[in-house]
Structure 1
């Protein structure tokens, strides 16, 4: 066989084989494609999301339980607050009731001391009855003006005053609220009776001119003395001469002698 014949045979074989290959290619193209397998990255992301969702659900469950507990505690606290409010309201009502009872007892006690006893006890009859309708202000009592403050005491304040008949007066305003026992009552009655005793009238002893009894005070209206000793001594830094002191001491001694002869004691003399 010559070379030309062999080439012709090979061409025939190739041409006959080519349709089969086309058929095979068509068959492969018509087959459905198989599903693509998920990659490892997609699997990791899904697992991570599931864990996060699980954690969130657990947290939501915990928060829900805590919210339920807080709600119960809040309701319990509200009930306790309402109970405390009721107890507080009751406490204030009890305090008001006790205050009203105390004020009533204090008023009765005051009436016993300043109205009942002076009217029935002979040792306290120097205390006059209460004057119902009388002008009483911080600057006036009746017709007497309360002028400059001359001094303070434990129970009283002493004012300067005046009247047409007596231009130099002193008024001792005794605060009844500070005198709450029988000892105080006896002291006031004794002072009134002593100052008003005509047996001890003396130029060195201030005379009692009037006694005014109101709901709050007892006012003793007396004569007013001269200068205070400190006013006299203040201008004499080197002391006073014997000729000046001798008549002063004599005058005081005569007044004290008058008191002692009538069984009175001054109790507030200073050397």
Structure 2
């Protein structure tokens, strides 16, 4: 079935918003004061992000490919797997979707944002930081995490079993994200997606939240650049070794 460009971009927009609602919504549930999931732990967050990727791929994989990540879009274009003319529209849709998804998280958790005084907890519901305060570690974690995500996702989605049963492949991609958050997420969060970090960070800077502290713009380039480079390498390895 052929879809219009508007429908394709709507899928990227809504899909990225869903990612933010499930992912950063899970972080807000764990970190913000007074929620019913407060302090429920890292597995809650990992599940939120795993499902936050799984569901958009199930919902929109057949429409737009469900990139829901500028790093995935750019990496595929660089490696000749995606039309360059669609890169900018896809990225804009993803960025806008991330902003709207984060705004929904803020609105639904508004009383808890106002009750929370921990600046780090508030910031963590929006964007990533490095737990050790190392920009080098921040970069390496986001680079290798996104490399693994893109390589794993492409291998699953384009394998014979993945093409025959795309729903099963979408579920496996969700488990890849779930696994990455539990295994490589400790140092930075992780982000693995420029839209997932940049737009929520912007929302953090704009929204009137008591005790929110700094948006830490000096390091904001890292979870944008590192995932893009990691994704390019991941897609290159896929194309070179397994396509």
Q: TM-score, normalised by structure 1?
A: 0.22
> Which one has a larger percent strand, Structure 1 or Structure 2?
1
Bigger RCO (CA 8 Å, 6+ sep): 2
Q: Which has the larger radius of gyration?
A: 1
> Which one has a larger percent helix, Structure 1 or Structure 2?
2
